[in-house]
Chain A
């Protein structure tokens, strides 16, 4: 079994750093408006490309630029610019859906990955796209048995991409699934004129709906009103079967998620993939990974379509089932390099010895730890409250752009 590449989402520098620090093999990110998270308030810009590449190449992390929205005529020149700049910045590959993007990337001799929006579900289509791409993301609606058949046929028929290597298959491993066929949805467009296919999904399938018979006015009885809102995909509990299907890349969804989410999910999957490789993957570990994954944003978990075509499992409540959440405490003020002491100003709530704290920032990523000691006004303290200047020993540099949080349990923690 080949070792699976762990691919992390990066919506901003915080998440990017969190992904690198927790051991991803590759990251994917969007620049400017032409990606599926165009709506996000924070998005990378063209000028960030060099910095992204620098941080990643230092740790041998591959970089994939997503350019996977529908493309209009007026976009063509920016697409060209983006690909050109990505090539100059040594970005590893472009993830493409539109043929224009594929062809422009090939012109610039950039490696191409075929995005899930193309919905590849059979070996002939794999063969077709192998003329242009080295990595192909399969449709999310396939079972692992079907995925396995495709990877075996690639091997058998020796289907190679432009690089001369056998085609590598990528699948989704964890994160939000939506009701639409592999990321192609018109719901948001119809209801809010906000096209998901231009990266402006309003996620309105995540809401409660009632179905009413227009003729009689009767409401359809539904056990669960969130009829279009599937639970989140999780594969960590059958990762051995995923590996057995011959895939090369496992993609973690979540470019809109907070850095501590990326940190936690990547850490768990890193551990799981490594365990699989060294033969220590077992039930006990799975239980502890699941407990960790439940701590951060999730809508409940299910196995997607991978273990057979059973009907979707729908989430029962809106929003997250996370067992933990972060509470904002304050900002970084200073870091004394020699003594490794960080100083924070507490702007809200309070924090005490024994609390789990989280520091996030564009360079810091997401660092979580138990608070063992701290000083308020230079004296050792058990507790600090709003207005206090707090210092504590931290092994990593804290910057003024960093934020300090504490982790608290949510109502889902008791269940």
Chain B
């Protein structure tokens, strides 16, 4: 299972995660920060758990590219 977490509040809206994992992330036109699609929020942390292992690589690329290190990607 792939678990992706986003600490959304700290996002600076640079768009890199969307370029690398467009199926997981989308820029919000409302506040200019990224949205982790289909995620559930708990105390500012947005999380998705997916059985689709194929999303790991691109999400991990997004994690590495994020300049403020607010994306976490784990395979469990």
Contacts and interface: CB of A to CB of B under 8 A. Distances in A.
B13 A194 contact: no
A202 B67 CA distance: 9
B65 A193 contact: yes
A403 to B, nearest CB: 23
Interface majority SS on B: helix, strand, loop or mixed? loop
A78 B65 contact: no
Contacts of A192: 67
Given A74-B28, A75-B32, A78-B32, A200 B13 contact: no
B12 A74 contact: no
Given A39-B67, A193-B65, A193-B67, A198 B29 contact: no
Interface majority SS on A: helix, strand, loop or mixed? loop
A401 B49 CA distance: 39
B20 to A, nearest CB: 10
A34 B68 contact: no
A38 B33 CA distance: 12
A200 B15 contact: no
Interface string B30-66: 1111000000000000000000000000000000110
Interface in A74-90: 74-79, 81
Given A33-B11, A198-B12, A200-B14, A74 B65 contact: no
Contacts of A78: 13, 30-32
A195 interface: yes
A199 interface: yes
Nearest to A196: B67
A195 B68 contact: no
Contacts of A128: none
A69 B37 CA distance: 26
B67 A74 contact: no
Contacts of A39: 12, 67-68
A200 B32 contact: no
A77 B32 contact: yes
A218 interface: no
Interface residues of A, number: 23
Contacts of B15: 72, 74
Contacts of A202: 67
Contacts of A200: 12, 14, 67-68
B32 A194 contact: no
Contacts of A199: 12
Contacts of B27: 72, 74
B30 A77 contact: yes
Contacts of A74: 13, 15, 27-29, 32
A286 B15 CA distance: 47
A289 B13 CA distance: 41
A192 B32 CA distance: 22
A34 B32 contact: yes
A77 B31 CA distance: 7
Contacts of A81: 31
A195 B67 contact: yes
Contacts of B28: 74
Given A33-B33, A34-B32, A75 B67 contact: no
Interface in A187-224: 192-195, 198-200, 202
Interface in A6-45: 32-34, 38-39, 41
B11 to A, nearest CB: 7
Contacts of A77: 29-32
A211 to B, nearest CB: 26
Given A39-B67, A200-B12, 20 more contacts: A32-B32, A34-B13, A41-B10, A73-B29, A74-B28, A75-B13, A76-B29, A77-B32, A78-B13, A79-B32, A192-B67, A193-B16, A193-B64, A195-B14, A195-B67, A198-B13, A198-B14, A199-B12, A200-B14, A202-B67
Interface of A: 32-34, 38-39, 41, 72-79, 81, 192-195, 198-200, 202
Interface of B: 10-16, 27-33, 64-65, 67-68
Shortest 6 CB-CB contacts between residues of A and residues of B: A194-B67, A74-B27, A78-B32, A38-B12, A33-B12, A200-B67
17 contacts: A32-B31, A33-B11, A33-B33, A34-B32, A38-B12, A39-B67, A72-B27, A73-B29, A74-B28, A74-B29, A74-B32, A77-B32, A78-B13, A79-B32, A193-B67, A195-B14, A200-B68
